[in-house]
Amino acid sequence: MLDLTFAEMARGLAAGEFKSVELVRGLLARIERLDPEINSFVTVTRDQALERAEAADAQRARGEAGVLAGMPLALKDIFCTEGVLTTAGSKMLGNFVAPYSATVVEKLAATGTVSLGKTNMDEFAMGSSNENSHFGPVKNPWDHSLVPGGSSGGSAAAVAAGLVPAAMGTDTGGSIRQPAAFCGITGLKPTYGRVSRYGIIAYASSLDQAGPMARSAEDCALLLNAIAGHDPRDSTSVSRVVPDYTRDLDAPLDGLKIGLPTEYFGDGLDPGVEAAVRDAVKVYESLGARVVEVSLPHTDLAIPTYYVIAPAEASSNLSRYDGVRFGHRCANPLDLEDLYKRSRAEGFGEEVKRRILIGTHTLSEGFFDAYYRKAQQVRRLIRQDFLDAFDKVDVLMGPAAPTPAFALGAQSDPVSMYLQDIYTIAINLAGIPGISVPAGFVGNRPVGLQILAPHFAEAHLLNVAHAFQKVTDWHQRRPVQD
């Protein structure tokens, strides 16, 4: 029962085949056994989870339970969770117990789901390998010498290792889709504004978006139902009707027009990854889809644009970590200047400092027009590329990452690390939704197929992904754990 998909598990609970408490106990035991090696959790909220599981079982016994009541999951440690340590993977917040919960956390709690804890992540969501966490790197469950991808690597690994059937992640430049691909799970980044950002520790506000990471598209649909919608506490969340994302999962694909962006199949793409992705596209053709080549001409500008905008916003968002009100404060500061400098020098890791410095530089007087303003102009061009492409096709497909998971410590140069996000970053700049679904292996390393859709077309995106998962079994493969 612990290895079921999230949706299957929910059906099992509803049918009375097992109880939430049994699930939670089983998973907690697995976490205890496997996680010391995988390191996917920063905090396990054992007692709370059992309490909530019991409450959900009682609710179900009274016949008052909803679909998700008693369903176990985990939260990336970037979601503020009332009364629970919330670190964002940073020493800076190593002692921060959030006094309130993020809207996503509240919404999930309202449906009766049971959080088993907070998952490890790259510090402040900055990274593509989960090696930037203050709490140590996460291991890829398929091969412990490999990275799980970043920054939602803890969530991805926890799901892949069978520690939870689903976990919440956030995606600023690919942080849901790339680790989902590396770990062989399904991860959805919704349209920017579809899910509230309130209570999510901000990295780059105009790019951050929360989304589900689970075993199937159906799982993601169930979870998106729970978390989507307008939040009056987030001015950038969109006031728009939330459809039932499970309703059209089985809708026929007839006439589906798939666009393959030329730019996503060029230099630097691992041949094994390319082969898996092209095979997946053939599966769609066999289901009646038509495939055309399209162009996203500004693709090569996405990474430089992202590395202007994201650090700029981050440099400002991270100013509040100054040692004054909460979080890490240096010992015995000499004066205010010393308090700021040492608290930040001690509290932030290398990659975070690098991005703060880049952002501070690009926003500073004399450079703003050349960098930030220019980047915003390019961002509009990138967005327009997608709008133009979606005039011709229904969805776009390509690899989620140029390579499968690489070895821990293998990417020592920050710029080559940044290139990991080459196929995911533009999607955040454009604000459109994207999903990564398991689509094969290179050796024992999973490969993710990325599917993209127009703004707010998540229902269609999930429908397309689900169609693939009905005829393939890549998403059902599990790594062998001890």
Binding piece for another protein, criterion CB under 8 A, among 112-120, 157-165, 307-315, 473-481: 307-315
Query: Contact with another protein (CB under 8 A): which of 316, 444, 472, 481?
Result: 316
Hey, which residues between 119 and 148 contact another protein (CB under 8 A)? none
Dihedral, CA of residue 187, residue 102, residue 107 and residue 172, to nearest 10: -20
Binding piece for another protein, criterion CB under 8 A, among 113-121, 144-152, 357-365, 432-440: 357-365
Minimum gap (Å) between residue 316 Cβ and another protein: 5
For 240, other C-beta atoms within 10 Å of its C-beta total 14
Question: E strand or H helix at 339, and its extent?
Answer: helix 336-347
Query: Contact with another protein (CB under 8 A): which of 75, 125, 146, 201?
Result: 201
| Helix segments in 18-170, DSSP class H | 20-38, 46-61, 103-110, 153-160
Reduced to 3 states, what is the DSSP secondary structure of residue 355?
helix
Minimum gap (Å) between residue 423 Cβ and another protein: 24
Is 175 a known active-site residue?
Answer: yes
The 202-221 site mask, x for binding another protein (CB under 8 A), equals: x-xxx---------------
Report the residue number, 133 or 411, with the smaller CB distance to another protein.
133
Hey, which residues between 14 and 73 contact another protein (CB under 8 A)? none
Reduced to 3 states, what is the DSSP secondary structure of residue 261?
strand
Beta bridge partners, 322, equal: none
Please report where in the chains the tokens 């008693």 appear, as a residue: 70
Structural contact between residues 78 and 199, judged by C-beta atoms closer than 8 angstroms: no
Hey, which residues between 319 and 338 contact another protein (CB under 8 A)? 319-320, 322, 324-326, 336
Report the residue number, 145 or 319, with the smaller CB distance to another protein.
319
Structural contact between residues 475 and 258, judged by C-beta atoms closer than 8 angstroms: no
Tell me which DSSP letter residue 233 carries. Answer: T
Report the residue number, 182 or 372, with the smaller CB distance to another protein.
372
Reduced to 3 states, what is the DSSP secondary structure of residue 379?
helix
Report the residue number, 98 or 453, with the smaller CB distance to another protein.
98
Assign 3-class secondary structure to 166-191.
Answer: EEEEEECCCCCHHHHHHHCCEEEECC
Minimum gap (Å) between residue 274 Cβ and another protein: 35
Report the residue number, 208 or 421, with the smaller CB distance to another protein.
208
Please report where in the chains the tokens 């690390």 appear, as a residue: 417
Query: Is 377 near another protein (CB under 8 A)?
Result: no
Separation between Cα atoms, residue 40 and residue 103, nearest integer Å: 23
Which of 19, 20, 40, 76 is catalytic? The answer is 76
- Of 435, 422, 464, 458, the C-alpha closest to 258 is 464
Cβ-based burial of 61 (10 A; exposed 0-12, middle 13-18, buried ≥19): exposed
Binding piece for another protein, criterion CB under 8 A, among 211-219, 233-241, 299-307, 449-457: 233-241
Report the residue number, 364 or 416, with the smaller CB distance to another protein.
364
Query: Is 380 near another protein (CB under 8 A)?
Result: no
The 236-275 site mask, x for binding another protein (CB under 8 A), equals: x---------------------------------------
Which of 129, 151, 216, 315 is catalytic? The answer is 151
- Of 362, 380, 367, 350, the C-alpha closest to 312 is 362
Beta-sheet pairing, 290-294 with 257-261: parallel
Is 76 a known active-site residue?
Answer: yes
**What are phi and psi for residue 292, nearest 5 degrees?**
-130, 155
Binding piece for another protein, criterion CB under 8 A, among 54-62, 80-88, 142-150, 347-355: 80-88
Query: Contact with another protein (CB under 8 A): which of 363, 410, 419, 442?
Result: 363
Query: Is 315 near another protein (CB under 8 A)?
Result: yes
Binding piece for another protein, criterion CB under 8 A, among 17-25, 134-142, 152-160, 364-372: 364-372
Query: Is 9 near another protein (CB under 8 A)?
Result: no
Query: Is 181 near another protein (CB under 8 A)?
Result: no
The 91-110 site mask, x for binding another protein (CB under 8 A), equals: --x--x-xxx-x--------
For 19, other C-beta atoms within 10 Å of its C-beta total 18
Cβ-based burial of 297 (10 A; exposed 0-12, middle 13-18, buried ≥19): middle
Query: Contact with another protein (CB under 8 A): which of 43, 86, 225, 305?
Result: 86
Binding piece for another protein, criterion CB under 8 A, among 33-41, 88-96, 395-403, 411-419: 88-96
Reduced to 3 states, what is the DSSP secondary structure of residue 351?
helix
Question: E strand or H helix at 466, and its extent?
Answer: helix 458-471
Between the CA of residue 130 and those of 54, 182, 192, 277, 408, what are the distances in Å?
34, 12, 23, 24, 9
Query: Is 312 near another protein (CB under 8 A)?
Result: yes
Report the residue number, 78 or 146, with the smaller CB distance to another protein.
78
Tell me which DSSP letter residue 369 carries. Answer: I
For the chain, the residue count is 482
Is 364 a known active-site residue?
Answer: no
Which residues are catalytic, by number?
76, 151, 175
Residues lying near another protein in the complex (CB under 8 A) are found at 79-80, 86, 88, 93, 96, 98-100, 102, 197-202, 204-206, 232-236, 312-313, 315-316, 318-320, 322, 324-326, 336, 340, 360, 363-365, 368, 372
